[in-house]
Amino acid sequence: MMVVVSRLKKYMEKFKVDNTWCPGCGNFFILEAFKKATSSFKKQELVLVSGIGCHAKIIDYLNINSFYGLHGRCLPLAQGIKLSNPKLKVVCFSGDGDSYNEGIGHLIHAAKRNSDITVIIHDNHTFALTVKQYTSTSPRGFKGSSTPKGSVEDPINPLELMLASGATFIARGYAGHKDKLTEIIKRGIEHKGFSFIEVLQPCIAWNNTFEKYNKSVYWKDFSETEGLKAITEWDYRNGDKIATGVFYQKEKKSFEEEFSLEKKDSLNVLLKNHV
């Protein structure tokens, strides 16, 4: 028995992955919140998918089945996995550059389909891994390597976009409020349908927003009317207060359920016509 344990320890040490996030990165808080949120789930129930960016490293630090996608292409992978095995809980980690820029079409259509997956966006308002280019959510005036004099574009409001696209669970969390973020992630995974969770994630190296968010972020248990209003009240451009919480939740058959019924109906028609 001791020999087996010794070999197992050596094996684990051999394949140990060192964490390469910058010290103090907001991603550490998201990692801990996710661990806590999924502590009651069996590992074989979960599959993780990630895109390209600092956010994507999170799957290296979790002992759960996972798949790296191409830049902006993690959502098609997540949907394919869910469709092939609807019993799985599929979680897609992405970033603002990954899904709001490169893969925004996939994001919109996954929401429209109401695919039963959970999408967690690490939003730091910059392409951090490739050294500070602006993204779709960077504020006007953002100075980065591609906009040294400041961006002249207004940012998008992803939550409003997801509402218009048909997402049935829409929430925002803040990396610095780990316990509340844990609650949001757990609720998102348990929701039947497309769950969209935007996480305000300060980038300690290129866009350190910890001080700003610590002053302005607040949590609220929203009613449906309050939640719909809160989705549009802060659009990255102005406002001293930033709402976090679950803004919107709706019960609706998922794409996988609809697809299964369609297959069953098609089979019945086929059998009726040929038997």
Q: What is the pLDDT of residue 141?
A: 86
Q: Where are the beta strands (DSSP E) in the chain?
A: 46-50, 66-68, 89-95, 117-123, 126-127, 133-134, 169-174, 195-200, 217-219, 242-249
pTM of the model: 0.87
Residue 36: CB atoms within 10 A of its CB come to: 16
Q: Is 9 helix (H, G, I), strand (E, B) or coil?
A: helix
Tracing tokens 């899904």 back to the chain, one arrives at 99
**Domains of the chain and CATH, by start:** 21-274 (3.40.50.970)
How would you write 139-168 as a 3-class SS string?
CCCCCCCCCCCCCCCCCCCHHHHHHHHCCC
- Sheet order of strands, 117-123 included: 66-68, 46-50, 89-95, 117-123, 195-200, 169-174, 242-249, 217-219
Q: What is the pLDDT of residue 129?
A: 83
Rounded CA-CA distance 96/135 in Å is 7
Rounded CA-CA distance 170/179 in Å is 18
Of 89, 94, 115, 91, which Cα lies nearest the Cα of 104? 94
AA identity, residue 220: K
Give the residue ranges of the chain where pLDDT is below 50: 1, 5, 8, 11-12, 236-237, 267, 269-271, 275
Contact 129, 101 (CB under 8 A): no
AA identity, residue 97: G
Tracing tokens 């400041």 back to the chain, one arrives at 150
Q: What is the pLDDT of residue 236?
A: 47
Q: What is the pLDDT of residue 144?
A: 81
Residues 184-213: b if buried by 16+ CB within 10 A, e if exposed: bbbbbbebebbbbbbbbbbbbbbbebbeeb
